[in-house]
Structure 1
C-alpha cells in the first residue's frame, strides 16, 4: 500500500499514474497518422478511414460519461483493472480486424475503455495535500499530454516500418504490463457516493445544469479541442500530396512539434501570479486562432505547418489546463463528476472537429479544413468574451 497519511501520496504512485496515463491515452491517437495506410490496405476512400478517428473520440466521450462517474461509486482499483482488460480486448480486435465495420466497432471500444487517465486526475487531486495538489495534477496531465503527442509520432513510424496492424498489437501488449503495474502498486480508494447508478448519472446532469462556470469551461474546451483535431486528422491527407509527398512517419513526427507547445503549456499555471484566469484563457484562445494563420497562409511549407502545430497545441493545452483549474475551484466533493461533464464535452467537440474537417477535406481540401479550425476557435473566443465576466465561482 503506497499511501502515507502524513505525506498523502508517494512520488512512486504519482509517477506510476503519470506513465500509465500516457500509455493508455495513446491508444486513442495511434490511428491518426495511420489513416492513409488503413484506407489503402482496405481499399476504402480516405473519408471512410477518417471515421475511425471520429468513432474513437466519440467512444472516449461515451466512456467518460458512463465509466468515469463510477469512480465516485466503486473501488477505483478494481474498476481500473476490469477496464484495462477491456482495453486489451479492443486493441486485439483492432489488430486482427479484416472488415471496415470491425475497425469501426473496435475503434469505438478502444475509445470507450481508454478513460483511465480521467480516473487518475481526480485521484491525484483527492490524495494530494493542498500544497502539492496542483503540481501532482500537473504531473499526471503532462503524462497524458505526452501520451497524446508521442502516440502520433510512434504510430507513424511503426506503421511505416511494420504496417498499421503492428501498432495496435504492440499497444495490446503494453496493456498487459500496465495491468500488472496497477495490480501491484496502485492504492485502493474508498468510494464517496452511496446511491444507485441512475442517481449518480442524474447528479452528473444536475452539475451540468446548475454550474455556469463548468458549462462555459466545457464549451470553450470543446471548441478549442475540435479546432486542434481538425488539423491533426487531415494533416496526413494534406501531406501525402505534393509539394510534400510525405509518409505517415513524417506526419507522425509533427506530434513532436506539438509536444513543444504542450509542454510549454504545462507551465501556464505560473502565469496566475501576474494575470487572472480569464485573461490567460483569452490569450490562449488568441494563440489558437494565430496558429491557423500559419497553417493556412504557409500551409504548403514545412515551417508553416510546424509553427501552426506548435501554436495550436500551446493554445489548446493552456486553455485546457486553465479550464480545469476553473471548475476544480467549485466547492464540491463530486470531483469525478465535474471532470466527466467537462471531458465529455471536450471529446464531443474533438469528434465534431474531426468529422467536419473530413467533410471539408472531401469538398474543399486544405482551405476547407482551415475554415473549420478557425470557426471553432472563434466560437470559443466569442463565448469567453460574452460570458466570462458575467459568471463567477
Structure 2
C-alpha cells in the first residue's frame, strides 16, 4: 500500500496528512477520501438532475429561456442544496469505504493484528471534520453567492416579479439604535437608488422595559438615504402633544442603514454567507429585527464539522461486523436509516428553534451532538462488547 503523498491523485494532501508516517492510517485515509469524493459526486449528480427538472418545469412556459440558461440557473441553485445533503455523502462514503475494506478481509487482518477500531475510524472522522471546516469557511460563502445570483436571475427571467421591488412599489424600512426605533414608509424610484417619495417616518422611543413609545411623525415629499443620515425635502413634524411644526425645506435624520443594502430585499438565510452572519445578526438586533433565523443558521454552520464527523463515524460503525458472520446488509440499511432519522431530527430541532420552543443554540447544536454520542456509544459497544 502506498502512502497518500505517493499517490498522483492525492499528492497535494501529503503535507496535510497528520498520519503521513503511519502507513495504516494513511491507507485508510486514502480509501475514505476516495469514497467520500465518489459519494459526493453521486449526491451532486442527483441534485443537478432534480434541480434541472424543477427549473425546466417552472420556466417551461417561457419560450425565450434556452437550455443553456436553465443549466446556468441549475449550477447557481444546486450548490446550496448539495451542502444540505453533504452529511449523507459522508455517511454513504464511510459505509462504502469500510464495507469494501471488510469485503477484502483487510479489516479482519487489522483486527487480528490487534488494531483498535478507534484507530481506523479516527482518520475518517478527522477528515470529515476538516472538510466541515472547509465547508463553512469556503464552500458556504460560494454557495451563498451563487444562490443570491440565482434569485436575481430568476427575478430577471420572471418578468411578473420584479427584482427587489415590493408589492405596489411601497418600501418599508426600520432602523434603530437600542434607544430609538424609526419605521419608514415610502414609494421607491428605481432610477434613483436610495431615493423615496411620499415618505413617512414614525419615531418611537424605547423605555427601560424595551417597550416602544410613539414620539412623533415626520412626513416628507422626498427622502434620500446617504451614508450616516437621511436627507428630507419639504418635511413636516407632528408630535403627540404639540401642533405640527412649520415645513422644513431640508431636514436630516441620523441613520445607521447602509445605502448599498437597505433597499435590497430581505436576505434569506440561504443567500447569506457564513462570514456575514455575525455582522448581520448585530445589525438586525440593533435595528429591532428578529435574528432567530440568522442565529440558527450560524449555530448550524458552526456545528457542521461535528455533524460530518459524526455521520462518518456512524457509517464506519455499521460496517465493522465481519462479513463471514452475516447480517452486513441489515447493518448497512440500519446505518442509512439512522442517518435519515438524524436528518429529520435536525429539521425538527430547526423548526422548534425558529418557533422559540427551545433555545437557538440548542436547536443548532443538538443534532450534531446527539449523532456523535450515538456513534461513540455504538463504537464502544462494538469494540468492547
State the TM-score, normalized to the length of structure 2: 0.35
More contact order relative to length (CA 8 Å, sep ≥ 6): 1
Question: When you count helix as a share of all residues, which structure comes out higher?
Answer: 1
Question: When you count strand as a share of all residues, which structure comes out higher?
Answer: 2
Who wins on radius of gyration, i.e. which is larger? 2
